[in-house]
Structure 1
Amino acid sequence: MNTPRQIGTVYVTGGASGLGAAVATAVQQAGGVAGIIDHQVPEVDAPFAKADLADSAAAAAAVEDLVAQIGPPDAVVTAAGTDRCGALTDVPVEEWERVVRVNLFGTVAVVRACLPHLTERRGTVVTVGSTLGLRPAGDATAYCASKFGITGFTRALAMELAGTVGVTLLVPGGMRTHFFDGRDAQYQPGPDAQLNDPADVAHAVLTALRQPVGCEIRELVVAQSTEPSWP
């Protein structure tokens, strides 16, 4: 049996709150170093580079900022995400496109900037998709488009980087985070909804990061047993 990896330096997008904050905390508790990329100051006490992930150039610059602060990454986890619910014709163009820019283009920009370092270290990429990146939902065209895009991007990237960088697609179901705050009631989980603790999902991410070189968890679905969007 090959030796599991140690948790090293892990860059986490969206690390200011929610799943990203839980991943950063889990990395630190496992003895690793977490570096956070977000547009707001993180709750977690960790090195931080500010960036609006809707701007690919800013995302790439944030990666280089963290390299200067804490050294190059051994892994990257792209947990940043946003949403804008509503019928296609009711959502303003700018708001619809921002969802795709943050969720998909921001993911790609950060992974692209990290790849030279990850290739050198035989590192790991963990992208964060969604159960709505595998099946659609009404009034979620922007979110589904972005998360279906992440699914396709990650599967293609795994083929492209086979033998050089590990690639995992994390598919989480609903979690108890601020992601649903501010939505109309029809787009919020019901009062009886069972949602995962993001800390539990973060520990699943650590499992992917600990796989020995050459052994990869290609796709990882983590959901409450009563998750309505899966399977």
Structure 2
Amino acid sequence: MSMMMGSANMVTKDTVRAFDKFTTSLVGSMLQWNMEFNPEEEIKGDYQVLAKGNLSLVAKEVRGAALDQFVTTLTPEERAILDTYGLLVDRLKARDLPVDRMLPEDEAKKVLADMRAAASQAAQVEQGLTTAKTEAATASAEKQRTDAQVVAATTAATIQEILSRVEQNLANAKTGQDKVQLENLKTLLLTAVKPEKETKKGGKKDA
């Protein structure tokens, strides 16, 4: 409410106030003359001149601010059942702005429909991109899990092969020192294989 807060155009406000004073003075003088000298008694009474130019500007400021505030409080459901085109016309009129600058109502509705269609299409594209990214991330995680399983299986097979050779060498060992070394190596290999077997058993048990 720039007029009420004193931040309106001072030239316009001063001009309107000066015109109000002139109108009040002129019409007031005519009123006093008629009250005293007019022979028609029925027109005489207790009258007072009130110029409303300045008040009209304030009223328009108040109406414009009220319309702006009203628009900010509307919910999407309320906007859907409200004549927003007519509301915009009222907002322009409250500020003495030319309404003919607006598009015709039918053309404006077509423009709004095109904008909504474009927004809907953009939302669908965005949703498609999000879905594609999610699927790509899922596929990547699945591939990593599969690769890890392949590596684990290959490692286990390699350890089993080495373990078989160790057992074979252990059977053919001739000295006690060789047997001790082979037994230690066998223990290490069994320790490496055992956690994997326990994991598989645990997985089957949970299933």
Provide TM-score, normalisation by structure 2. 0.19
Structure 1 or 2: more helix by fraction? 2
Question: Which structure: larger Rg?
Answer: 2
Structure 1 or 2: more strand by fraction? 1
Looking at both structures, which has the greater relative contact order when contacts are Cα pairs under 8 Å and sequence separation is at least 6? 1
Provide TM-score, normalisation by structure 1. 0.18
